Structure 1
Amino acid sequence: MKVLHFPPGGDGFEAFLRESGPALLRLGHLLTLDRAAAEDLAQETYIKIGLAWSRVRKDGNPVGYARRTMVNLFLNSRRRARPMPVPQVPETPREDPALAAVDSAAVIRQILAGLPPQQRAALALRYLDDLPDDEIGALLGCTPATVRSHLSRGLATLRARREGEHHAPRP
């Protein structure tokens, strides 16, 4: 886990945002699989952290608090997901450069989108943030054994679907 060093003076919130922002946005993108939704999720996370900053700063683990907040917001939004009308549909979707570099990123995104939210969150926290089972369990509100189950099932699904893509007959 990265240790943040805040400059003397001020409350350190802006420095926290600068240092942790890119990593939180990457986590949000892996959770939502959509750049705009990831930005919205990150913004919601920053608002919640900002409102609780004095307590979060005293706790000494603002990155962990931010991760947990983001995962909770993601999982809660999935439970009450409703389509939101927009005034105008964007002409072209934006791709995340990190995922665009992956071979057949569209296939991987489609496979990840088919995973249940808990499995996708567990995979993102393990392989993006390299967290151990007990920390992932604390973030997801489950036991380390359940985390291992989410990871195992998620990876099995990813492997099976990825294999199916390689062996599917071409039109």
Structure 2
Amino acid sequence: MIATKTVKDYIRTIVDFPHEGIMFRDVTTLFADPRGFRMAIDQMLHPYAGQRIDKVVGLEARGFIIGGAIAHQLGTGFVPIRKKGKLPGTTISQEYTLEYGEAIVEIHDDAITPGETVLVIDDLLATGGTAEAGIKLLERLGATIVGCAFIIDLPELGGREKLTQMGMEVHALCEFEGL
């Protein structure tokens, strides 16, 4: 009997990248496989079947790949949340803390109409800092966030707990232990 592959089976681990002690979970191998990629998109959509979603919001950068595919499947618009200085129009910004400093993300100030329902997408949930900053931007624009979906959750880093405490519904396709 042939074992059925899961999304987790398509993700490779690269040891000591980007520096020593990190186990980098590389989703490019998932994206490169048509069955794996389709499986991931379908499974990320499943919890939101039947819900009204006006826009899919992808967090830079791999969230753009997944979010674009999900928006296409839903027949909705896609909105990127990018690093500071990458969007050409008028933006609003949100600072957040990283383990090694601070960063800023931005969204176009007209990307969301107040009251629109949005789904937040990214590949990986670690500490939750980027997602938290994105949620704050969306809330400032008046969005109603139906949930946050990720391919990978690293539960030891506390991101899910942080987003849940913010009142967010969080879904992840798989978990990896460690950093």
Larger radius of gyration: 1
Q: Same fold, TM exceeding 0.5?
A: no
Q: TM-score, normalised by structure 1?
A: 0.26
From the two aligned structures, give the one with the greater helix fraction: 1
Q: TM-score, normalised by structure 2?
A: 0.25
From the two aligned structures, give the one with the greater strand fraction: 2
